[in-house]
Copies of this chain bind each other. A is one copy, B any other.
């Protein structure tokens, strides 16, 4: 079979029916309801289809009529390729893909990065529902998704979208537990490196006011968890320097740590709101010749494989389960109407990058 023959406009169900001298319904039934016609006729239909090169009912026309596309749309505001680079996103996707596979549904990745000002990709997506992964509040693509009359599940962010299902993790509780861990180790002078808090590029220190205005609820929650945990030990949050980085890379984490530690040399611990940033901070510590955790404690959030392999103290969130839950929430809703919210637990993983603050005090006194 040559390419050109495969690419020519194929026969339609109607032309096949005409060729056979039967009705279109019968041809349709031959494909979709074998029990509705005799075996002989069905075989004759299928045989003729083969002979004419009829590829079977057109999926688009079928979707139009049956009102289902057998696919789930995934909206990420980042570049598509990002999804395959970021370890946490990857875990989520793996779980989501699993859910789709289980249900025999396709998974449509929708190009909706900032490059695409038009919302065409969202409007044009032939899907039965959307999963929205971690987009900022007020994102126009997300709003376009909401206007589509389709069931939608939000993963992580934005939080509190009325009437929309959500699956997330206990960001705040996880970070609170982490903060307590640092407190127990004696840390009182801590710094924070956070992922971007808004959609506009900004790198630098952020005051609590901007923290509260953050367009990313997950970051707000994680910061709030740290605040609460440290508050229990009497650490005033306004005294805790928070460094924001727009990019989510190890390089950004290292740069953030550099700036943070340069302005606040007395810090005994740096808590990062992601593992990637924390790995960057670790790299910076190594560059400065500091020993972790003797000279500095560093913590992350997510529990990505790279971080666990590196022995990072971090909050592990079940990213895979989150993706799976998001998919299932979307696919297994029956005629449920009231929105559902799933919050998965997080777990502190104490690694080799957090240690007693004592040692650090000693180190500084020796300067």
Contacts and interface: CB of A to CB of B under 8 A. Distances in A.
A93 B82 CA distance: 11
B60 A126 contact: yes
A21 to B, nearest CB: 24
B84 A124 contact: no
Contacts of A15: none
Given A69-B60, A162-B1, A146 B84 contact: no
Interface string A144-156: 0011111100000
A151 to B, nearest CB: 6
A123 interface: yes
Interface in A50-108: 55-64, 69-71, 73, 79-81, 83-85, 90-91, 93-95, 97-98, 100-101, 104-108
Interface residues of A, number: 67
Copies in the complex: 2
A62 B100 contact: no
A106 B104 contact: no
A330 to B, nearest CB: 12
B55 A80 contact: no
Contacts of A60: 60, 63-64, 69, 126
Nearest to A339: B3
Contact of A84 (B7, B90, B113, B151): B90
A121 B90 CA distance: 23
A280 to B, nearest CB: 16
A148 B107 CA distance: 19
Given A59-B126, A69-B60, A80-B97, A106 B108 contact: yes
A255 interface: no
A106 to B, nearest CB: 5
Nearest to A324: B81
B100 A93 contact: no
A163 B6 contact: yes
A213 interface: no
A265 interface: no
B109 A97 contact: yes
Contact of A80 (B57, B62, B101, B150): B101
A229 to B, nearest CB: 33
B116 A104 contact: yes
A46 interface: no
A4 interface: yes
Interface in A147-187: 147-151, 162-164
Interface in A106-158: 106-111, 113, 115-116, 120-121, 123-126, 146-151
Interface in A330-367: 337-339
A8 interface: yes
Interface string A185-227: 0000000000000000000000000000000000000000000
25 contacts: A3-B339, A4-B163, A6-B149, A6-B163, A8-B149, A59-B123, A59-B125, A63-B124, A70-B120, A70-B121, A79-B101, A80-B97, A80-B101, A80-B107, A81-B95, A81-B98, A84-B93, A84-B97, A100-B109, A106-B108, A106-B109, A106-B110, A106-B125, A107-B109, A108-B108
